[in-house]
Chain A
């Protein structure tokens, strides 16, 4: 394994191993979640003036996409308030690693559900109702409380964080794109782990609890399923785990083989395009259909959305994979049937969609944030819409920020995403001994469509 530099000094790692700061930060976030839900429920019904909408969907979401995920990967998950209470109740402790006795049934999540399909379904559901969730304070409040209740409830039925790992729609989103982050939590050396008898990182010890994400940290090769809860740093008896710097997108060097992850990538890519067309485009019929939940037009919109993200995009990628295989096999004897070229490259071909999808979401968020950012200032100063002016920004007039720079910025982000994706595609196809041009062509088409939609 190539050695990578530590992000933190020894003193920094010692600080990180203390649980108090994380509990304190999570508690602040929990208070923020409660306040946001209250603001959403009792505050002004005008979304752009309500704290729940302006702060969460305009401010937090843009920060998550543009800054937090690309730099810290799943860093948000380490302080996310949604699973906190369930976690505390399940363990029977807040500051300590494990109370006695732990509460809940502690069942294992059924094998059929131990994948990303449920997360894909919850994200698709969220996407279908996104116009209402993004604009209605009460629906945002209900969604937050619902996620909190579900996470807490699942903690009482299943072991570890079943909600985060298998259900949370945002968790799948964050996990997918955390693969590009320049930091990782990994073991320094495999030998101590092989010799370790207790596997305290997974099973827990007096120093900390077992991995709440159900991951064996010694086997981590990608960021997807590590929630950066940092418990394994606390439990490892040999201090063999650390947070390290690494090349950007190092996880993508080895293509995924999982179809659920491939569909996640396609779902995210397609959703970003649909959002750009419906929410930021000029087509009023699209908007009316997306806003009219339950109407015939909305059903058509929902059907078109699902066909695009679950049929057209995956089908096209599958065909591109088959076409690439045919190109590669031209003139070769049939004896190569067992070579890497014989297996379907569908899942592997979705790997370049990770940087491309992140670029799509960043470009979309840039437009949304720079145009509506002034609402965040209004809502911070008057979060409940009661006429307060806490920091003197309640009356700031709406005006887009950097209006002339939005399109060039979006173009640069999309171009960068495409070039990055093409680079990943070359690596993937080289591994599979397949030509890269069909996959690069496939990546180009949505890029040019997204550019047209946004600029």
Chain B
């Protein structure tokens, strides 16, 4: 007896393609578009319990100097994943200089217990394109497409 295995192969091939696309979206290294490196100085004011400005943006490769000015109590500024931090006493300016060589979106946080809402004193530093966010969105859309295909196939088969 000859068994037609084509639908099963097609299904396996389809899932294989989706898995490959998912792996590509998640893991393919992307080199950021690099422009000529600049030296960027950004002044950030810290007051209970927010940074101003709370969203910073630089280009990959830039040498960044963050000038932290505290306007009330002692505050800090820590950049997630860069693992760099600086503290500023009230009325004084502290500086943190680093090369923004990791592209992406990173939370900046106060790293000195500054009062009640300290754990939520958070801002954001974007270096070039927020790649992790785009990868996450790509995977979500891929999952949606796979689900829609999975939903549509039985419906087509039922109509046939």
Residues of chain A at the chain B interface (Cβ within 8 Å): 45-49, 131-132, 134-136, 278-284, 287-288, 291, 368, 371-372, 375, 398-400, 403-404, 407-408, 411, 414-415, 418-419, 422, 426, 436-437, 440, 444, 447-448, 451-452, 455
Q: Can you spell out 20 A-B residue pairs with CB atoms less than 8 angstroms apart?
A: A47-B119, A48-B113, A135-B118, A282-B108, A283-B54, A284-B52, A284-B123, A371-B80, A372-B119, A398-B111, A403-B81, A411-B139, A418-B143, A419-B143, A437-B151, A440-B147, A444-B140, A444-B144, A448-B137, A448-B140
User: Who on chain A is nearest to B50 by CB?
Assistant: A284
**What's the dominant secondary structure at chain B's contact region?**
mixed
**Structural contact, B49 and A407, CB atoms closer than 8 A:** no
A338 smallest CB distance to B (angstroms):
23
Indicate if B83 sits at the interface (CB-CB under 8 A). Answer: yes
A276 smallest CB distance to B (angstroms):
11
Indicate if B135 sits at the interface (CB-CB under 8 A). Answer: yes
Question: What are the 8 closest A-B residue pairs judged by CB atoms, nearest first?
Answer: A284-B50, A282-B124, A411-B136, A282-B54, A407-B132, A451-B136, A282-B123, A284-B54
Give bound CA distance, A444 to B144, whole Å: 7
User: Per-residue CB proximity of B104-122 to A under 8 Å, as 1/0?
Assistant: 0101110101011111111
B46 smallest CB distance to A (angstroms):
11
**Structural contact, B143 and A415, CB atoms closer than 8 A:** yes
User: Who on chain B is nearest to A429 by CB?
Assistant: B151
Indicate if B101 sits at the interface (CB-CB under 8 A). Answer: no
**Structural contact, A47 and B147, CB atoms closer than 8 A:** no
- A135 proximity list for chain B (CB < 8 A): 116-120
Give bound CA distance, A398 to B114, whole Å: 13
**Structural contact, B119 and A403, CB atoms closer than 8 A:** no
**Structural contact, B151 and A426, CB atoms closer than 8 A:** yes
**Structural contact, A46 and B50, CB atoms closer than 8 A:** no
Count of chain A to chain B residue pairs whose CB atoms are closer than 8 Å in the complex: 111
- A47 proximity list for chain B (CB < 8 A): 116-119
**Structural contact, A455 and B105, CB atoms closer than 8 A:** yes
Give bound CA distance, A358 to B30, whole Å: 32
- A45 proximity list for chain B (CB < 8 A): 116
Give bound CA distance, A121 to B34, whole Å: 52
- B117 proximity list for chain A (CB < 8 A): 47, 131, 135, 287, 291
**Structural contact, A440 and B144, CB atoms closer than 8 A:** yes
- B113 proximity list for chain A (CB < 8 A): 46, 48-49
Give bound CA distance, A291 to B120, whole Å: 10
- A46 proximity list for chain B (CB < 8 A): 113, 115-116, 118
- B81 proximity list for chain A (CB < 8 A): 403-404
A62 smallest CB distance to B (angstroms):
13
- A287 proximity list for chain B (CB < 8 A): 49-50, 117, 120-121
Give bound CA distance, A451 to B50, whole Å: 23
Give bound CA distance, A280 to B115, whole Å: 17
Give bound CA distance, A398 to B54, whole Å: 21
**Structural contact, A408 and B132, CB atoms closer than 8 A:** yes
- A278 proximity list for chain B (CB < 8 A): 120
- B124 proximity list for chain A (CB < 8 A): 282
- B137 proximity list for chain A (CB < 8 A): 448, 451-452
User: Who on chain A is nearest to B140 by CB?
Assistant: A448
A373 smallest CB distance to B (angstroms):
11
**Structural contact, A447 and B140, CB atoms closer than 8 A:** yes
